[in-house]
Amino acid sequence: MRSAVAVFPFLFFLLSGFVNGRVLPESTPRPSPDAAAAFARWLVSQNSWGVLSTLAADSGGAPFGNVVSFSDGLPDKGLGVPYFYLTTLDPTARYGLKDPRVSLTLSEYSLGTCGNNDPESPLCSKITLTGKFKLVDGKSKNLVSSWPKDHNFEVYTMEIEDIYLINFFGGPKPLTVDQYLKWKSS
Amino acid sequence: MRSAVAVFPFLFFLLSGFVNGRVLPESTPRPSPDAAAAFARWLVSQNSWGVLSTLAADSGGAPFGNVVSFSDGLPDKGLGVPYFYLTTLDPTARYGLKDPRVSLTLSEYSLGTCGNNDPESPLCSKITLTGKFKLVDGKSKNLVSSWPKDHNFEVYTMEIEDIYLINFFGGPKPLTVDQYLKWKSS
């Protein structure tokens, strides 16, 4: 899990309150909607929060979405894989540990680059990463010293299995996980 | 379904592009976190989009979150029940019609009223409404004339069964659906 090590310092930075939403440097311009991998990676790297959906173990597996912060790495050096810092005092981490099937959903609307387009318009892009939730390791406790120690926050990630990207008319963009993960900025 | 009739004009207004996110009049100030019902109704009425999570029928019931616009009524006259305008060309409506269990998740971060608080901080409020998805009626087609007619957009809603509200330290606020729905602004 070498990529996680690279992400930790940024996660600390992000969650410490120094970086909030759009204060992140916007050094990467919005890619062309046709460049599906580049676009998806941009959307994931530019966002700092989203909704992580799990199956509610205590409600017969009903879907439960929750607001989470995440990072895929340092700005412009992200690897496309989201990392979360969660406590099992919240249902999301508990549910994800019982049934690892999750999805992470992000909207371009959060970035302020949708102009006058409605958040549901295909011109305001959105992405859902579907996959398996997992704890990164047992050594990630107390990563952010300002967060309560007794809440046992730990770093989690997801193994991406499918990508649902809408960034223009015409339905979801064809994009494999391999294309997404192997994409590199030139 | 009388409440739906009241919502239709606003949904039209919202989706026609005249109202976008924070252009909505902010006539209601942020309630005290202790006033759980007032706070939840405020958070729902002030937001115009969120993530609707369903169970992916074609993926063995894995959770699938999707960005949707919604309205609970005219500004300051909302009834707390979200209405959506969706097409079954998107997976979300299809999944919701197969298995009605859904959740709608909203963040105060979208409203710009979280100050320097991280979206995951309890000081940046969030709400998840859990319940059953349903089609309002068969007469809601072509409600928004500028949206493509052949996509068969229709009005859907959800019957709220549970409310998960975080708006301060100390875990979810105790709040029944009845308290939420019966709350009235004084």
* pTM recorded for the entire structure: 0.89
Residue from A34, A51, A46, A73 nearest A175 by CA:
A34
- CATH code, A2-16+29-182: 2.30.110.10
Domain ranges of chain B: 2-17+26-182
B23 pLDDT tier (thresholds 50, 70, 90): very low
**Percent of chain B with pLDDT strictly greater than 90:** 73
CB distance B104–A65 less than 8 Å? yes
Strand, helix or coil for residue B171: coil
CB distance B66–A116 less than 8 Å? no
**Percent of chain A with pLDDT strictly greater than 70:** 81
Within 10 A of B10 (CB to CB), how many other CB atoms are there?
18
Residue from A106, A105, A104, A100 nearest A55 by CA:
A100
CB distance B107–A67 less than 8 Å? yes
**Quick one: pLDDT at residue A76?**
74
Q: Which residue has the higher pLDDT, B15 or A94?
A: A94
pLDDT of A146 over the 50 cut: yes
B53, B87, B114, B133, best to mutate vs chain A, most A CBs in 10 Å: B53
Q: What is the ipTM of this complex?
A: 0.88
**Quick one: pLDDT at residue B10?**
57
| Cβ-contact B80, B180 below 8 angstroms | yes
CB distance B103–A14 less than 8 Å? no
State the DSSP H helix or E strand holding residue B13, giving kind and residue range, or none if neither: helix B2-15
* B103 vs A65: CA distance, rounded Å: 6
Q: How far is A110 from chain B (nearest CA, A)?
A: 7
Tell me the pLDDT of chain B averaged across its residues.
Answer: 87
CB distance B67–A107 less than 8 Å? yes
Q: Which fold would CATH assign to domain B2-17+26-182?
A: Pnp Oxidase; Chain A (2.30.110)
B75 pLDDT tier (thresholds 50, 70, 90): confident
| Cβ-contact B98, B133 below 8 angstroms | no
Find residue A155's DSSP bridge partners.
A85
CB distance B107–A61 less than 8 Å? no
Buried b (16+ CB within 10 A) or exposed e, B39-58: bbbbbbbbbbbbbbbbbbbe
Strand, helix or coil for residue B128: strand
pLDDT of B1 over the 80 cut: no
**Quick one: pLDDT at residue B18?**
43
State the DSSP H helix or E strand holding residue B102, giving kind and residue range, or none if neither: strand B101-107
Of the candidates B55, B62, B105, which has its C-beta nearest A67's C-beta? B105
Of the candidates A21, A62, A105, which has its C-beta nearest B130's C-beta? A62
Of the candidates A21, A101, A162, which has its C-beta nearest B63's C-beta? A101
B48, B105, B110, best to mutate vs chain A, most A CBs in 10 Å: B105
pLDDT of A99 over the 60 cut: yes
pLDDT, tens digit, for every residue of A109-120? Answer: 999 999 999 999
Q: How far is B184 from chain A (nearest CA, A)?
A: 26
Buried b (16+ CB within 10 A) or exposed e, A134-157: ebbeeebeebbeebeeeeebbbbb
